[in-house]
Amino acid sequence: MMATEILIARQRQALLAQITLKAEIAHHSRNHAAALQDALLGEGRANERQDLIAIDIHTHAEVSCWNPFDNYGEEYDRAADKYFGSNRRPTIAETVAYYREKKIGLVMFTVDSEAQLGRRRIPNEEIAQAARENSDMMMAFASIDPHKGKMGAREAERLIKEEGIKGFKFHPTVQGFLPYDRMAWPIYEVINEYKLPAIFHTGHSGIGSGMRCGGGLRLQNSNPMLLEDVAIDWPDMQIVMAHPSFPWQDEALSLATHKPNVWIDLSGWSPKYFPKQLVQYANTLLKDRVLFGSDYPLITPERWMKDFEVAGFKPEVMPGILKGNAVRLLGLA
């Protein structure tokens, strides 16, 4: 009986091993098929990106369809509407549909100013979901208030790993911090570790313009030279200085020329109003690190691109500014 029991046990073990092996083979086959499907899908999306005429590196999410309406601090919106002569507040889906119709890719983000302004932010996850659903022409950047410190760093890593966030947006004036302040370092560490880009507002801000005391917002926080220590200490973070940096345009050009991990986006202004030295550097020394951005919905890409054609940019640098440089920055090549 003992020998019979041993034989039966061995047969059961052998049978179990065969079942396990077949399951593993099936699992690997499914993984291989999924990987092949992802590769083919990625190739298809890459081909679709080739059809885009431009990539707008700077667009804003203005309305959340997840959160209830929050009109706290609405006076800042009204002041910005007056400053920019626009009161458009499209939903994320409306913005995506608009850009798809125009065959323009886009990077979208919100600005988390909960500490400074007390306004509930649009969820980064909401923007990330839209980007995943439109991955052929949209990428999501996240915004995390630097005052959140290490908790903000935890959120940043989660958003990268779980939500597919491809970069970050900071607004030192609206968020009420100096770019080199140590409280922002935990978030910078995560961005640097993953070698992602970060857009920093620089120069004058339409937010708060015309309000009593400028709404309490400090323009000096957005002097581009305050980014120099950030560029030195976090060399794997690609820093994008947003907007012509009035009244510090020369400082911005100097910093970008000196630090190869510093870029400039041209959002927020019509190109016909660009300072002449900005156009000069975009045509020469910085032609590979200048990016098209509109600041939509405050400025439409149609208006920006129309004015861009007659703003003095050399024909040979225009494709790079409109799309090629963004392709490299975003790792789409």
User: In the block, which residue shows the tokens 């980007």?
Assistant: 131
Mean pLDDT over 181-185 rounds to: 96
Task: Check whether the bond before 247 is cis (ω within 30° of 0).
Answer: yes
DSSP string, 132-169: HHTTTTEEE-B---GGGHHHHHHHHHHHHHHH----EE
Query: In the prediction, which pLDDT does 73 show?
Result: 82
Q: Which residue has the higher pLDDT, 51 or 1?
A: 51
Task: Taking residues 248-256, report their average pLDDT.
Answer: 98
Please say whether the beta carbons of 201 and 18 come within 8 A: no
Give the pLDDT confidence score for residue 17 in this predicted structure.
53
Residue 318 reports pLDDT greater than 60: yes
Q: In this predicted structure, what is the pLDDT of residue 168?
A: 98
Q: Please determine, for residue 27, whether its predicted confidence score (pLDDT) is greater than 90.
A: no
Query: CB within 8 A of 265, min separation 6: which ones?
Result: 57, 58, 199, 240, 241, 242, 243, 290, 291, 292, 293
SS3 106: strand
Q: Is residue 20 pLDDT above 70, yes or no?
A: no
pLDDT the model gives residue 69: 81
- Confidence bin at 41 (pLDDT 50/70/90): very low
| Percent of the residues in the chain that have a pLDDT greater than 70, as a whole number | 85
Residue pLDDT, tens place only, 284-314 = 999 999 999 999 999 999 999 999 999 999 9
Q: How confident is the model at residue 12 (pLDDT cuts 50, 70, 90)?
A: low
Contact 244, 268 (CB under 8 A): yes
Residue 5 in tokens: 């029991």
pLDDT band (50, 70, 90) for residue 37: very low
Residue 264 has pLDDT above 80, yes or no: yes
Q: Within 13 A of 315's CA, how many CA atoms are on the CB side?
A: 0
